[in-house]
């Protein structure tokens, strides 16, 4: 099957189960380049499982998941790792920054893993946009919760991924900060031409998206 690049991501008859319990079932879903989607569902509806399948963290069980013109089910674990490092950005509810590295070095490591050489200025520019220039040499434990989250967003976007996946990025935030994070993800992904998929049970986020995939 040869998909045109007008489709970033395509899913057909995808299902996944843990032991004997099915946690995810999607008949059909497509994400176009530069498009923003909200995956909405209650806890246990398979949102995180879906993101992990797209990112290649989990191996496919049933169905088809096409990344541009690549069938993820046919990729080895190492090939999925390379695809994720090069083309996918990940943002989680908790930042998961490497504690022994400064903010800047966390970003530089992401570039190295994506094989982006000589892009220090891109890190500096992104940190400036996120209001983190003065924290570039700080360690993660020296950051506030909001600063750490913005640093995690910067790390996810610094290698200019084709797809940005965000898992419950607003769950622990108050209304004002939740709205800021959503706008930040949308604005930065739009500026880079990156497709955006946010998975959440947070109903506050729903009003910011035209494209919504609901999981039962």
CATH fold label, 35-58+77-214: Rossmann fold (3.40.50)
Tokens of 10: 């395509």
> What are the φ and ψ backbone dihedral angles of 124, each rounded to 5 degrees?
-65, -40
Q: Report which DSSP code applies to 15.
A: E
**pLDDT, tens only, 16-33:** 999 888 899 999 999 999
Instruction: Give the whole-angstrom CA distance, residue 35 versus residue 33.
Output: 6
- Quote the pTM value: 0.88
Q: Contact 157/126 with Cβ under 8 angstroms? A: yes
Q: In this structure, is the dihedral angle defined by the CA atoms of residues 31, 67, 167 and 130, taken in order, positive or negative?
A: negative
Tokens of 116: 């982006």
Instruction: Give the whole-angstrom CA distance, residue 149 versus residue 95.
Output: 5
DSSP for 171-210 reads TTS-HHHHHHHHHHHHHHHHHHT-EEEEEES-GGGGGG-S
Neighbouring C-beta atoms of residue 2, cutoff 10 Å: 5
**pLDDT, tens only, 67-99:** 888 899 899 999 999 889 888 999 987 888 999
Q: What percent of the chain has pLDDT over 70?
A: 96
| Statement: residue 58 has pLDDT above 50 | yes
**pLDDT, tens only, 144-200:** 888 898 899 899 988 888 999 999 988 777 888 888 888 889 988 888 889 999 999
Tokens of 153: 């967003």
**Domain-wise residue ranges, the chain:** 35-58+77-214
């Amino acid at each position: 099957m040869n998909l045109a690049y007008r489709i970033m991501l395509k899913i057909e008859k995808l299902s996944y189960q843990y032991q004997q319990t099915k946690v995810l079932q999607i008949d059909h879903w497509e994400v176009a380049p530069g498009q923003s989607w909200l995956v909405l569902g209650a806890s246990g509806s398979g949102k995180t499982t879906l993101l992990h399948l797209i990112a290649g963290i989990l191996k496919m069980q049933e169905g088809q998941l096409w990344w541009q013109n690549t069938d993820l089910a046919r990729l080895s674990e190492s090939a999925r790792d390379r695809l994720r490092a090069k083309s996918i950005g990940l943002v989680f509810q908790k930042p998961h920054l490497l504690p022994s590295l400064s903010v800047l070095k966390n970003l530089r490591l992401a570039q190295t893993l994506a094989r982006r050489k000589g892009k220090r200025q891109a890190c500096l520019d992104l940190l400036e946009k996120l209001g983190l220039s003065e924290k570039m040499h700080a360690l993660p434990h020296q950051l506030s919760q909001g600063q750490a989250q913005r640093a995690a967003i910067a790390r996810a976007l610094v290698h200019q991924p084709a797809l940005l996946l965000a898992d419950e990025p607003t769950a622990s935030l108050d209304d004002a900060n939740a709205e800021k994070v959503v706008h930040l993800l949308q604005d930065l992904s739009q500026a880079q031409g990156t497709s955006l998929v946010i998975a959440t049970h947070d109903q506050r986020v729903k009003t910011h998206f035209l494209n919504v995939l609901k999981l039962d």
